């Protein structure tokens, strides 16, 4: 039954969304959720009740957006109607806004599935209100330094939320992440574990941005026999009281083809996706695992993932003035290191690095000292430091002995012009940005007519 209050909440939310799109306030991603919840605090719970399938939540430090998009793609490939929240609007208001946008004027949600990326700290509320059939926890990396120390607390928050999953709800966890392993081993019902098994793509040691290397039980330093991304790999405590759980959904025979394609084998099925980088192997594997929980056919999933597209801002590509541009979001040391490694594999030589220090980026930018910019030394032909903190970036590059670094140019537009000029025709240029720098850059590209606004894509 649709109560009048719920219907009013939905209508008011929809009107707010239309108004903010009309006034171009960034696509109106969360404000409709605020308005709808102010009228009916239960509106999300009620709308989710209309879903025929149910809700799927995706959380973790890196890869939420891409994983959510892959899962949504799998479901849409079956002809299902899927409601998803937009990248970055991953609080309860963003999920509510998405549900409101998917509802009809009668106040009913017209969809089969809800796939929501959820901020780690919001997971308890999201589990409570959406009663999900699956919750993915991809990884728990240290975000920026000013949030350091919160990882333990976040792990406990996530564990608490997973303990309260409804009957039939399944946790889908990355076995290769020690923090996620710790969470999952403490759950009353066994999760579905996924992980990578291919030594040919592992590093011999932890990159220096890695954290979470100690045993949660005895505090001893974990020993890694393989390291894949950040602190994710195959680990065990030397005192034998903690080790990586054996994954059920496993990626073997990993092939990385620059930024264009990954290929893995999962349970004897060859899975290809037009995404680059080892971190995307984890995102594809997470989506495959959700599909496994839902009982989807493996061959169907493999076919569907071939057509995947990178989520907004993560590896968006476009061509202008005879150059190919790739936008990559880099919001923390682990993510940044992965992107630098990927650009190295793709033989990238021309870069713009946009560093901002707004709240969404983390106000303290000293985390850039944990990023291995040394990877660019001797390889890059031009690196333009830009964004609000262009000068800090320039200093970091200087210490990394990146002689190709230019003078800092805080103005993203001028920095982009400088990069375009320095990139030969037919060449590749990489735009590596923190979150708000990416939004600024994207807005600029839309203004110049180089890209479409993201709410229109
Ligand atoms: Zn131990």
Give all strands (DSSP E) within 189-241, no chain letters. 192-196, 223-229, 232-236
Distance CA(408)–CA(390), nearest Å, equals 5
What pLDDT is recorded for position 412? Answer: 96
* pLDDT band with cut points at 50, 70 and 90 for residue 456: very low
Q: How far is the CA of 216 from the centre of ligand 1 (A)?
A: 7
The predicted-structure confidence for 369-381, as pLDDT tens digits, reads as follows 989 999 999 899 9
Q: What is the mean pLDDT of residues 85-107?
A: 90
Q: How far is the CA of 214 from the centre of ligand 1 (A)?
A: 8
Range of the domain at 451: 314-456
CATH of the domain at 326: 3.90.190.20
How many other C-beta atoms lie within 10 A of the C-beta of residue 299? 11
* Contact assessment for residue 412 and residue 387, using Cβ atoms and an 8 Å cutoff: yes
The predicted-structure confidence for 13-68, as pLDDT tens digits, reads as follows 999 888 877 765 555 568 899 999 999 999 999 999 999 899 999 999 889 989 99
**3-class secondary-structure state, position 354:** strand
| Domain endpoint, select from 305, 322, 339 | 305
Q: Are residues 329 and 191 in the same domain?
A: no
Place of tokens 């995307």: 280
Q: How far is the CA of 221 from the centre of ligand 1 (A)?
A: 8
Q: How far is the CA of 335 from the centre of ligand 1 (A)?
A: 27
Place of tokens 């990578």: 196
CATH of the domain at 202: 3.40.1190.10
Q: For residue 93, give the nearest of 10, 41, 34 by alpha carbon.
A: 34
What pLDDT is recorded for position 98? Answer: 94
What pLDDT is recorded for position 143? Answer: 63
Q: Are residues 180 and 262 in the same domain?
A: yes
Q: For residue 197, give the nearest of 156, 232, 242 by alpha carbon.
A: 232
| Domain endpoint, select from 281, 305, 329 | 305
Q: Are residues 299 and 324 in the same domain?
A: no
Distance CA(173)–CA(170), nearest Å, equals 10
Q: How far is the CA of 240 from the centre of ligand 1 (A)?
A: 6
The predicted-structure confidence for 438-453, as pLDDT tens digits, reads as follows 888 988 998 898 887 6
Q: Are residues 83 and 15 in the same domain?
A: yes
What pLDDT is recorded for position 457? Answer: 40
Tell me what the pLDDT averaged over the chain comes to.
89
What pLDDT is recorded for position 35? Answer: 93
Q: Are residues 401 and 294 in the same domain?
A: no
What is the greatest pairwise CA distance in the chain? 66
Among residues of the chain, what percentage have pLDDT more than 90?
63
Q: Are residues 88 and 210 in the same domain?
A: yes
Q: Are residues 186 and 288 in the same domain?
A: yes
* Contact assessment for residue 139 and residue 72, using Cβ atoms and an 8 Å cutoff: no
| Domain endpoint, select from 269, 284, 305 | 305
Q: How far is the CA of 387 from the centre of ligand 1 (A)?
A: 43
Distance CA(353)–CA(348), nearest Å, equals 13
What pLDDT is recorded for position 142? Answer: 74
Distance CA(42)–CA(399), nearest Å, equals 53
Dihedral angle of Cα 344, 347, 350, 352, to the nearest 10 degrees:
-30
Q: Are residues 230 and 378 in the same domain?
A: no
Q: For residue 139, give the nearest of 122, 153, 158 by alpha carbon.
A: 158
Q: For residue 61, give the nearest of 214, 227, 177, 206 by alpha carbon.
A: 177
Q: How far is the CA of 213 from the centre of ligand 1 (A)?
A: 11
Task: Give CB contacts under 8 A, 24+ apart, made by 143-150.
Answer: 143/61, 143/331, 143/332, 143/362, 144/332, 144/361, 144/362, 144/364, 144/365, 144/367, 145/362, 145/364, 145/366, 145/367, 145/370, 146/362, 146/363, 146/364, 147/362
What pLDDT is recorded for position 321? Answer: 87
Residues in Cβ contact with 66 at an 8 Å cutoff, skipping those fewer than 6 apart: 275, 280, 283, 310, 311, 314
**3-class secondary-structure state, position 195:** strand
Q: Are residues 301 and 208 in the same domain?
A: yes
Q: For residue 17, give the nearest of 26, 6, 8 by alpha carbon.
A: 26
Q: Are residues 85 and 51 in the same domain?
A: yes
DSSP 93: H
* pLDDT band with cut points at 50, 70 and 90 for residue 242: very high
Q: How far is the CA of 62 from the centre of ligand 1 (A)?
A: 26
What pLDDT is recorded for position 212? Answer: 57
Q: How far is the CA of 241 from the centre of ligand 1 (A)?
A: 5
Q: What pTM value is reported for the model?
A: 0.79
* Contact assessment for residue 249 and residue 288, using Cβ atoms and an 8 Å cutoff: yes
Q: What is the mean pLDDT of residues 95-103?
A: 94
Q: Are residues 336 and 268 in the same domain?
A: no
Residue 341 phi, psi (nearest 5): -65, -40
The predicted-structure confidence for 104-144, as pLDDT tens digits, reads as follows 999 999 999 999 999 999 999 999 999 999 999 999 887 65
* pLDDT band with cut points at 50, 70 and 90 for residue 311: low
Q: How far is the CA of 215 from the centre of ligand 1 (A)?
A: 5
Q: What is the mean pLDDT of residues 64-89?
A: 89
Q: How far is the CA of 236 from the centre of ligand 1 (A)?
A: 8
- pLDDT value at 312 more than 90: no
Q: How far is the CA of 243 from the centre of ligand 1 (A)?
A: 8
Q: How far is the CA of 242 from the centre of ligand 1 (A)?
A: 5
Distance CA(84)–CA(69), nearest Å, equals 8
Rank 135-144, 177-186, 271-280 by mean pLDDT and report only the highest.
177-186
Q: Are residues 180 and 291 in the same domain?
A: yes
- pLDDT value at 163 more than 50: yes
Task: Give CB contacts under 8 A, 24+ apart, made by 230-234.
Answer: 230/139, 230/141, 230/334, 230/337, 230/338, 231/141, 231/177, 231/178, 231/206, 231/334, 232/139, 232/174, 232/176, 232/177, 232/282, 233/176, 233/202, 234/176, 234/195, 234/197, 234/202
The total of structural domains in the chain comes to 2
Low-confidence winner among 40-44, 209-213, 275-279, 290-294 (lowest mean pLDDT): 209-213
């Amino acid at each position: 039954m649709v109560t009048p209050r719920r219907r009013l909440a939905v209508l008011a939310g929809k009107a707010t969304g239309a108004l903010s799109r009309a006034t171009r306030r960034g696509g109106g991603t969360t404000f409709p959720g605020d308005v709808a919840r102010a009228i009916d605090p239960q509106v999300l719970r009620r709308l989710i009740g209309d879903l025929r399938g149910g809700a799927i939540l995706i959380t973790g430090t890196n890869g939420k957006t891409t994983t959510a998009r892959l899962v949504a793609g799998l479901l849409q490939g079956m002809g299902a109607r899927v409601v998803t929240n937009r990248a970055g609007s991953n609080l309860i208001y963003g999920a509510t806004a998405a549900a409101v946008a998917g509802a009809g004027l009668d106040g009913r949600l017209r969809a089969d599935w809800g796939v929501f990326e959820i901020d780690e700290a919001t997971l308890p509320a999201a589990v409570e209100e959406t009663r999900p059939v699956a919750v993915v926890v991809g990884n728990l990396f240290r975000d920026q330094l000013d949030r350091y120390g919160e990882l333990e607390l976040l792990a406990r928050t996530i564990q608490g939320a997973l303990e309260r999953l409804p009957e039939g709800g399944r946790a889908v966890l990355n076995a290769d992440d020690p923090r996620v392993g710790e969470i999952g081993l403490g759950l009353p019902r066994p999760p579905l574990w996924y992980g990578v098994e291919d030594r040919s793509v592992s590093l011999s040691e932890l990159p220096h941005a890695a954290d979470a290397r100690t045993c949660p039980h005895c505090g001893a330093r974990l020993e890694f026999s393989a390291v894949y991304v950040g602190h994710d790999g195959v680990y065990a405590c030397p005192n034998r009281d903690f080790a990586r759980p054996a994954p059920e959904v496993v990626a073997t025979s990993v092939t990385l083809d620059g930024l264009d394609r990954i290929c893995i084998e999962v349970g004897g099925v060859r899975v290809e996706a037009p995404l680059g980088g080892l971190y995307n192997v984890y995102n594809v594997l997470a989506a495959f695992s959700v599909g496994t929980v839902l009982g989807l056919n493996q061959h169907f999933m493999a076919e569907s993932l071939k057509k995947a597209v990178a989520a907004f801002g993560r590896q968006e590509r476009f061509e202008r003035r005879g150059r190919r541009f790739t936008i990559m979001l880099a919001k923390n040391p682990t993510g940044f290191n992965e992107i630098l490694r990927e650009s190295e594999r793709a033989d990238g030589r021309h870069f713009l690095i946009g560093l901002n220090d707004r709240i969404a980026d983390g106000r303290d930018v000293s985390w850039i000292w944990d990023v291995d910019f040394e990877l660019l030394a001797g390889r890059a032909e031009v690196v333009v430091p830009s964004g609000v903190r262009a000068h800090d970036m320039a200093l970091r590059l200087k210490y990394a002995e990146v002689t190709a670094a230019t003078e800092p140019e805080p103005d993203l537009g001028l920095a982009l012009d400088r990069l375009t000029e320095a990139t030969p025709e037919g060449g590749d240029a990489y735009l590596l940005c923190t979150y708000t720098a990416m939004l600024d850059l994207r807005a600029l590209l839309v203004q110049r007519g180089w890209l479409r606004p993201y709410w229109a894509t």
